Structure 1
Amino acid sequence: MDHETIRFIVGIVGNIISLYLYLSPTPTFVKIVKQKSVKAFKPDPYLATLVNCVMWIFYGLPVVHPHSLLIVTVNSAGVIINITFCSIFFRYSPWPCRKKMIIIFMLEVLFVAGMVAVTLTLEHTHPARSMLVGILCVIMNIVMYAAPLTVVKTVIKTKSVKYMPIFLSIGNLLNGSIWLVYAALDFDPYIMIPNVLGTISGMIQVGLYVIYNKTTNWDEEEEEEPPNEVEMPPSAANA
């Protein structure tokens, strides 16, 4: 097979893995709908993933970075899924949480609109536009990958991986790895950098699971839902 065919196949596999990760919070939202309450769950991961996907869709458009169709397709799915999750969260949240979601969403809209306007008016070549949008996307991904570090700290402190599902951790590892290969095949540093971090993050999570699985009290009852779930939604760069 030629280079482009291999890259296309790798991208398709990446789309499938990313779709699995995007849908992984579904049980949480089924629970929210059944209980008609968001309990202690937070909307932040889904709002962050939403704006992240929109940014990567823009990056993958022909006016910014040609020949990136698979980046656009997977992040379009991410947008639809996370809009659905955010809508459910909004529906069953108290007013203070709704107000916070509205403010964050409006800030995200303003940020994306500003990014699009600056990119299309000030930058006139594909390399320049790719660099500007790519850097912003990388920064967003780094912020998103930093989020689970608090949970990693909790795992080490409590010696428990009860709230770090192994299949999600493996999914994160596979997702980062496959998109790292995709980026390497055409050397796209803006996709490569966040997925190096994603691969490392996945390896750390799987490693912690192996280490602390035996010390985890799986039968212990919790009084309330955990305030933070280890949900590492794929970024468009980890497309």
Structure 2
Amino acid sequence: MTHHEEALARTIIGVIGNIISFCLFISPAPTFVRIWKNKSTEEFHPYPYLACVMNCLFWIFYGIPVVHPDSTLVITINSVGLALELIYLSIFAIYTSKRNRGIIAFVLFGEAVFLTVIIIITLFCFHNHTMRSMFVGIICVVFGIIMYGSPLSIVRKVFKTKSVEFLPFWLCLAGFLNGAVWFTYAFLKTFDPYIATGNGIGGLLGLFQLCVYAYFSLKGAPKADDTKPSEVQLQNTATNRNTSSPQA
């Protein structure tokens, strides 16, 4: 494959990854429609969305030219993800308690301070793309793995209740595809070990969730009809991946 063909393939895979990552970012929308209609956050928590904000912020920073050139698609999808997460948090803040609003404001402020510190360290302590990409990329991988691993708490509930009602199939499939697509993207044109690591692990976690779903579905486990997964956070994280986040 020529350099031009690799660049074209990378762009195509990246666009596909953006589409899948967008599906992951938009997946909590029904939850917030419910919150808006009921005017109550019920048993939902803001923490997955706060974590996703941090994840998107770092991948956006990772993708800027002074850190890691030629990463436009990484910036675009995480910018969309960041906007959606802030919208979700705004809706959440309107209908939640005063205490939770304080927590949201405090965490967002802490994230802004932490990002500022990392930006200063990156730009003033590292003087080439390789070192900057490594420093920021490692942080992105850590947040990406946390995001991808967050649904494992739901898997634990599936084993406990023997019901796949608590494990949304399409969300699991999207998480697996998101990891697989961005993992492939990392090997095209110029190898990116940070996108590959975060999304490779994310893809494996998504595959594990699909296997759990298939096992209990084929086993004919009873549905927990009287127990609605209201506390399940329909947020796989990542985006991007990337999403990450796509964890791109």
Does the alignment reach a TM-score above 0.5?
yes
Q: What residue is the counterpart of 2:24 in the other structure?
A: 21
Q: What residue is the counterpart of 2:153 in the other structure?
A: 150
Matched, 1:217 2:223: yes
The residue identity in structure 1 corresponding to 2:211 is G
Matched, 1:96 2:85: no
The 1:216–1:110 alpha-carbon spacing in structure 2 relative to 1, beyond 3 Å, is farther
Q: What residue is the counterpart of 2:88 in the other structure?
A: 85
Q: Which string of whole-angstrom CA distances, capped at 9 and with x for unpartnered residues, describes residues 49-85 of structure 1? A: 1110010000000000000000000101001111101
Residues 164, 230 of structure 1: 8 Å contact kept:
no
- What is the rounded CA distance, in whole Å, between the counterparts of 2:114 and 2:232 in structure 1? 26
The Cα RMSD (Å) is 1.4
* Residue in structure 1 matching 2:36, options 9, 33, 36: 33
TM-score normalised per structure 2: 0.92
Q: What residue is the counterpart of 1:56 in the other structure?
A: 59
Secondary structure in 2 aligned to 1:89? helix
- What is the rounded CA distance, in whole Å, between the counterparts of 1:207 and 1:230 in structure 2? 19
Secondary structure in 2 aligned to 1:157? helix
Q: What residue is the counterpart of 2:74 in the other structure?
A: 71
- What is the rounded CA distance, in whole Å, between the counterparts of 1:126 and 1:28 in structure 2? 40
| Number of residues of Structure 1 aligned to a counterpart in Structure 2 | 237
The residue identity in structure 2 corresponding to 1:191 is I
- What is the rounded CA distance, in whole Å, between the counterparts of 1:131 and 1:147 in structure 2? 24
* Residue in structure 2 matching 1:231, options 229, 235, 248: 235
Superposition map of 1:50-199 within 5 A = 50-185=53-188, 186-199=190-203
Q: What residue is the counterpart of 1:208 in the other structure?
A: 212
Q: Which string of whole-angstrom CA distances, capped at 9 and with x for unpartnered residues, describes residues 194-214 of structure 1? A: 111111111111111111122
Moved more, 141-150 or 89-98: 141-150
Residues 60, 68 of structure 1: 8 Å contact kept:
yes
The 1:7–1:131 alpha-carbon spacing in structure 2 relative to 1, beyond 3 Å, is same
The residue identity in structure 2 corresponding to 1:216 is P
Shift of 1:92: 0.7
The residue identity in structure 1 corresponding to 2:191 is F
- What is the rounded CA distance, in whole Å, between the counterparts of 1:228 and 1:104 in structure 2? 21
The 1:169–1:225 alpha-carbon spacing in structure 2 relative to 1, beyond 3 Å, is closer
- What is the rounded CA distance, in whole Å, between the counterparts of 1:200 and 1:173 in structure 2? 7
Q: Which string of whole-angstrom CA distances, capped at 9 and with x for unpartnered residues, describes residues 150-201 of structure 1? A: 2211111221111211011110011000000000223101000111111111
- What is the rounded CA distance, in whole Å, between the counterparts of 1:64 and 1:136 in structure 2? 13
Q: What residue is the counterpart of 1:5 in the other structure?
A: 8
Q: Which string of whole-angstrom CA distances, capped at 9 and with x for unpartnered residues, describes residues 102-145 of structure 1? A: 11111111111111111011111010100100011111112223
- What is the rounded CA distance, in whole Å, between the counterparts of 1:139 and 1:199 in structure 2? 15
- What is the rounded CA distance, in whole Å, between the counterparts of 1:110 and 1:3 in structure 2? 38
- What is the rounded CA distance, in whole Å, between the counterparts of 1:168 and 1:146 in structure 2? 13
Secondary structure in 2 aligned to 1:226? coil
Q: Which string of whole-angstrom CA distances, capped at 9 and with x for unpartnered residues, describes residues 21-45 of structure 1? A: 1001100000000000000001111
- What is the rounded CA distance, in whole Å, between the counterparts of 2:145 and 2:22 in structure 1? 20
Secondary structure in 1 aligned to 2:43? coil
Residues 163, 222 of structure 2: 8 Å contact kept:
yes
Moved more, 144-153 or 157-166: 144-153
Moved more, 30-39 or 181-190: 181-190
